[in-house]
Amino acid sequence: APAAPPAPLGCDDPESEAAAEVAVNYINGHSHHGYKFALNRIEDVRVVPQGPNNDIIFLELDLLETKCPILSPTPLANCTVRSFTEHAVEGDCDVKLQKLDGKISVLASKCHSHADSSEDISKVCPDCPQLASLNNTEVLETVSAALNDFNSKTTGPYLRLLEIGRGKIQYHPAHVVAVEFAVGATNCSAEEAKVNVGACQLLPEDQSNFGFCIGTMVKLPTQNLEVDCQLYGHQPGVTYVHAGQDTS
Amino acid sequence: PVTKRAVAEAAQHDKVPRPVGFVPPPPPCPGKIRHFDI
């Protein structure tokens, strides 16, 4: 009697998890903006045999945003997943992979991400700050104030804004705007920038030095601004692709 | 009435007897949730 067809691959089978790990590393490695994503759930897996030791694997993955910016050198395993009450962001990805002679590689991937709904957050945590749009006026003002404040006090290189990662606004019990943004070191010191900031350009690729800032502006009851920026140091081969130049 | 009862009993016996405590395997997908479900 012909051999029975192999049982369909389960979403929690080791082979599916190995394929999902390859897929998540590929997705993070080919993303140029925002944050790294971690695997939350394998929604579906489908294997299409192509011949001996040659399978096409289709994965449907549920990812969750972590707190690690995409330019951060932190290994994904050490990146904390943003919690539900911190206004989580979910990624849905469809990935096509090939397993050839035991080696798994990604052929194509398509993802889209979306923040959890404000209603869901409010139900669980009425006073939790909620994500604001990245072009929200208060977010933009807070990023600008935080970066200027840091540059006015730093003894290191003058930093330029690369992109805003997220902005959250809380109205109770105080009016607080919290922002996260990516920065790049320029060829100026902070002192030189005071003289001619126009001459301050991001360092060339072979010297690039990216970093990340977190700023908090308390507006009421009294105004108070706090900002902290960390530079990662030069990471060979890591480049920042300005928005709009990105490939899908 | 005899026929009906006989068929009912026969049908009952045709079912594959399940061992006591049989737990059906979990569906292959979707998989486990590693963090939380949105």
pLDDT, tens digit, 9 for 90 and up, residues A25-45: 999 999 999 999 999 999 999
Q: Are the beta carbons of B28 and A39 separated by less than 8 Å? A: no
Q: Are the beta carbons of B35 and A8 separated by less than 8 Å? A: no
How high is the ipTM of this complex?
0.84
CB contacts of A61 in chain B (<8 Å) are none
Question: Which residue, A9, A12, A18, A64, is CA-closest to A42?
Answer: A12
Question: Which residue, B14, B17, B36, is CA-closest to A40?
Answer: B36
A59-77 pLDDT, tens per residue? 999 999 999 999 999 999 9
- Give me the residue from B31, B35, B36 closest to A12, CB to CB: B31
Q: Which residues 111-170 of chain A have a CB within 8 Å of chain B?
A: 116, 120
pLDDT band with cut points at 50, 70 and 90 for residue A240: confident
The larger pLDDT score, comparing residue B20 to residue A49, is at A49
- Give me the residue from B30, B36, B38 closest to A42, CB to CB: B30
